[in-house]
Amino acid sequence: MKKYYSMFFVVCIINFSCGGGEVKTDGHADSVYEEDLFEETTDIQKDLIDVQEDLTEEATDIESEVPITCGNGIVDDGEECDDEKNGNPDDGCTDECRYSCHVDSDCSDGEICNGEEICNLEYHVCSEGTPHEDGFVCLSEPRSICLNGECRESICGDGFIDSGAGEFCEPPGNNGCKEDCTFECNNDFECYNDEVCDGEEFCDLTTHTCAHRNVPPEGAECGTDPRKICLGGRCQVSVCGDTFVDTGSFEECDDGNAIEGDGCDNDCTFSCHSNSECDDGHICTDNICTSSHTCDYPFLGSETVCRVSAGACDIEERCDGANPDCPVNSFRPSGYECRASMGICDVVEYCTGFSPLCPADGFLSSDTVCRPSAGPCDVTEHCSGTSAECPVDSFLSSDTICRPSAGDCDIAEYCTGTSAACPRDAFLPSTTVCRPSTGPCDAEEYCTGSSATCPPDAPPPVETCNGLDDDCDDVCDDGFECCRGITESCTTTCGTTGTKICSNWCTWGSCVPPTETCNGIDDDCDGTVDEGTICPPGQSCIMGRCVSTPSGCRVSHYLAHTYALCGENSCLSWSDARNRCISIGGYLATATSSGEDTFLLNWASSMGWDVWFGLYRDSLCVWRWVTAEPVSYTNWAPGQPDGSCPDQECGQYWSEGSYRWDNNWCDRCRGYFCEWDG
């Protein structure tokens, strides 16, 4: 806060009366600043005036502006208004010199039933909204309605007939109204009311009570200008804050409160949609828009570099997982190797501890041995003192013996003059006899071509895995699991007869299943029976036999069942399609699981037809399969099944519903799926 000092302040301290914008001193108001006033002041007054002059001089150094004081009745810098702090925050200006409101949401008291409060932007005061009429649904669970401007739980006996809660009369016990606020009826007319959102009223002649049917779904539009929707069986104005997300009013959410930043703002839009909307300006925090549409700023861990290295002696800084900002810049300590030796004559450089850069490069002196003799044909080299590299290697002349003969099969080697190593030890060729035969059972020995000595007398060869009888005992690859390269039959994992081959390591390979054939068996062990093109042209594999493909049909398999998609040349009604499937030994296909349904849906989609399948509604209006299996799995298209019962009794894969299920009139002409168990 700025400091202000003034003559006015000091004069008031010494029992002068201040007010009305003038300075008065015991009847001498017009002479406060005249010289004779100072001559008549007491010693204390003189001292205070001296202090005032010092303070005035100091205040001039600090700032000579008029003070910004909330409550002085003047709108100064940093203030939106100033009502002299009158203690009334509802007059448009608070005691903090801020407007009482800027937007309508600033006026919200959280109570729906007394209406939506409005901010008057001319005077910045809040005005009360128009209260909702009695019966307006203000809370869905437990169901509560507006009564006399307050949100109360809807109960029988509260004096209001809440038809959305199933009430038909009030109060109970009067004029035939029962204790649950319903009444007896004898015909539909007695049940009628004007509420469109509780559906069609009718009298249940069994219980003589009123009931509803064809009730519109929650959020269905029931009025315009202003938009009205059905909520809890009542047609009411759609408002932000009623806890129902009305997408028709472009609401993204509705949490029933006016709290900003909680995921759903007070205009019923998400607090955030993407990470880019959640930037807190810190390098070591992540900006995340959560799945609940709130902004989260978790600290980034050490995997995040927040300041890159500026040189070999500079340490890159990383986030520490506990602070939003990058740690202080630091350098590697003295003694840290910053430049490795680039050659045998180069020295290592180390960091200084106070600079990001590595010192200049240096080299070893010329008396340093950089390459000792590396072999019998090499000479020693020294560093040059000006280069990181050792001088070019030099070698002994080619007339120098570097390896004398070491045996009957060896020859002497000489330096090449171009290499440090003695040439590879060379031996007499393998055609050289080094030990003659000593008898008919002894073979003569030859030099190996790879050894200086003559081999010892050799025994018969050891058996190896090569598909041969190496040791002449009339058994191929004895000692191994099998003879390399032979083939035998075997039993597959699915019980069919396959083949196995002895590998190059003389072990049996895996059992290979045979090719799939039309026999009602999973020959190739892939989990599907009789799949693929395994019958002659014009025939299909059905129940393990190749038979003529039904006219106008295409055949495929899924798991252990066979299916036909028919109707390419002529469509049929649902009943005719069922009879056609029966006539060719099958039945109108069922879709009792997600996998089977996906198989049929994708097939129908690839053809682009509406296709009948074996789902129908019986005389009791219950959906059933033609196989009498229970209908435990469904995949209805949005809004389906529709129509009343009896009506549209047969199931189809519907092209207009992304090939999900639809109920339709059974006499329509469609393609159809047949199914065989095998």
Model confidence band, residue 210 (pLDDT cutoffs 50, 70, 90):
confident
Alpha carbon distances (Å) from 350 to 316, 385, 662: 17, 20, 79
- Checking if the pLDDT of 180 tops 80, the result is yes
Check residue 57 and give its pLDDT. Answer: 52
Residue 347 lies in a domain: no
Whether residue 190 contacts residue 215, with contact meaning beta carbons closer than 8 Å, is answered with: no
How far from each other are the two terminal CA atoms of the chain, in whole angstroms?
91
Nearest to 564 by CA among 533, 608, 604: 604
C-alpha span between 657 and 215 (Å, rounded): 23
CATH code of the domain in which 565 resides: 3.10.100.10
- pLDDT exceeds cutoff 90 at 345: yes
Q: pLDDT tier at 62 (50, 70, 90 boundaries)?
A: very low
Select the more confidently predicted residue: 209 or 576.
576
Quote the CA–CA distance of 203 and 209 in Å, as a whole number: 6
pLDDT at 146: 92
Domain total in the chain: 5
Structure tokens at 139: 């809370």
Answer whether residue 21 shows pLDDT above 60.
no
Same domain? 401 vs 452: yes
What's the CA gap between 117 and 276, in Å, rounded?
33
pLDDT of residue 534: 61
Query: Would the pLDDT of 593 be above 50?
Result: yes
Beta bridge partners, 670, equal 572
Pair (547, 628) in one structural domain: yes
Task: Give dist(CA 424, CA 403) in Å, integer.
Answer: 10
pLDDT exceeds cutoff 90 at 177:
no
CB 147 within 8 A of CB 158: yes
Amino acid at the residue 69: T
SS3 annotation, 446-496:
ECCCCCCCCCCCCCCCCCCCCCCCCCCCCCCCCCCCCCCCCEEEEECCCCC
Let me know if 112 is exposed, middle or buried by CB neighbors in 10 A (0-12, 13-18, 19+).
buried
- Residue 322 within a domain: no
Say if residue 621 is in the same domain as residue 567: yes
441 shares its domain with 501: no
Predicted pLDDT of residue 25:
35
Domain end position, chosen among 199, 221, 238: 238
| Beta-carbon-side half-sphere exposure of residue 607 (alpha carbons within 13 Å) | 22
Residue 216 has φ and ψ, to the nearest 5°, of -60, 150
Q: Are 597 and 603 in contact (CB under 8 A)?
A: no
Structure tokens at 422: 């003695």
pLDDT: which is higher, 37 or 677: 677
Give the 3-state secondary structure of 365-432: CCCCEEECCCCCCECCEECCCCCCCCCCCCECCCCCEEECCCCCCECCEECCCCCCCCCCCCECCCCC
Q: Left (φ > 0), alpha (ψ -120 to 50) or beta: where does 130 sit?
A: beta
Which structural domain range is residue 579 located in? 539-676
The number of CA neighbours under 13 Å toward the Cβ of 443 is 10
288 touches 296 (CB < 8 A): yes
Q: Is residue 261 part of a domain?
A: no
Asked if residue 54 belongs to a domain, the reply is yes
Q: What dihedral do alpha carbons 136, 139, 142, 145 form, nearest 10°?
A: -20
Tokens of 580: 């056609």
- Which position has the higher pLDDT, 84 or 659? 659
Phi/psi region, residue 391 (left: phi>0; alpha: psi -120 to 50; beta: rest), is beta
Helix or strand or coil: residue 438? coil
| 16 vs 8: CA distance, rounded Å | 10
Tell which of 238, 266, 295 closes a domain.
238
Q: How far apart are CA 551 and CA 307, in angstroms?
A: 74
Q: Residue 152: inside a domain, yes or no? A: yes
Write down the residue that tokens 């071509």 correspond to.
449
Q: Percentage of the chain with pLDDT > 70? A: 85
**DSSP readout, 68-112?**
--TTSSS--TT-S------S-GGGSB-TTS-BS-SSGGGG--S-S
Model pLDDT for residues 511-539, shown as the tens digit of each residue: 888 877 776 677 778 777 766 666 766 66
208 & 189 share domain = yes
Q: Give yes or no: residues 444 and 402 share one domain.
A: yes
Q: Report residue 633's pLDDT band, with 50, 70 and 90 as the boundaries.
A: very high
- Is residue 123 in a domain? no
Last residue of a domain, one of 177, 207, 238: 238
For residue 407, CA distances in Å to 129, 400, 616, 621, 632 come to 117, 20, 98, 105, 90
With bands split at pLDDT 50, 70 and 90, how would you rate the model's confidence at 45? very low
Angstrom distance (rounded) from CA 604 to CA 591: 13
- The pTM of the full predicted model, rounded to 2 decimals, is 0.30
- The DSSP H or E segment spanning 48 is helix 43-62
User: Taking residues 377-404, what's their average pLDDT?
Assistant: 90
Q: Are residues 551 and 669 in the same domain?
A: yes
Structure confidence by residue, pLDDT tens digits, 301-310: 889 999 998 8
More confident residue, 1 or 670: 670
Rounded Cα distance, 2 and 212, in Å = 72
- The mean pLDDT value for 505-509 works out to 89
- In a shared domain, residues 440 and 490: no
pLDDT, one tens digit per residue, over 214-246 is 999 998 999 998 999 999 889 999 999 889 998
Q: What are phi and psi of 102, to 5 degrees?
A: -120, -35
Calculate the alpha carbon distances from 573 to 2, 281, 347, 514, 628 in Å. 91, 67, 94, 42, 20
- Is 317 contained in some domain? no
On whether both 437 and 482 belong to a single domain, the answer is no
The region of weakest confidence among 99-113, 384-398, 650-664 is 99-113
User: What integer pLDDT is reported at residue 533 of this predicted model?
Assistant: 60
Instruction: Tell me the pLDDT of the chain averaged across its residues.
Output: 82
Name residue, tokens 């472009």.
250
Residue of 146 and 190 predicted with greater confidence:
146
Q: Same structural domain for residues 450 and 507?
A: no
Q: Mean per-residue pLDDT for 667-677?
A: 93
Helix (H) or strand (E) holding 604: helix 594-607
Peptide bond into 216 cis (omega under 30): no
**Cα 473 to Cα 641: distance, rounded to the nearest angstrom:** 81
pLDDT computed for residue 8 by the predictor: 31
Task: Give the model's pLDDT for residue 545.
Answer: 61
Q: Do 556 and 591 belong together in one domain?
A: yes
- Judge whether residue 266 has pLDDT over 80: yes
Q: Greater confidence, 545 or 70? A: 70
- pLDDT of 654 over the 80 cut: yes
Instruction: Please indicate, yes or no, if residue 590 is contained in any of the structural domains.
Output: yes
CA atoms within 13 A on the CB side of 584: 27
Amino acid present at 126: C
State which amino acid sits at residue 146. C
What is the DSSP pairing of strand 611-617 with strand 671-676? parallel
Which one, of 250, 251, 246, 226, lies nearest residue 237 by Cα?
226
Which residue, 132, 225, 244, 17, is CA-closest to 252?
244
Residue 65: predicted pLDDT: 39
Whether 543 and 672 map to the same domain: the answer is: yes
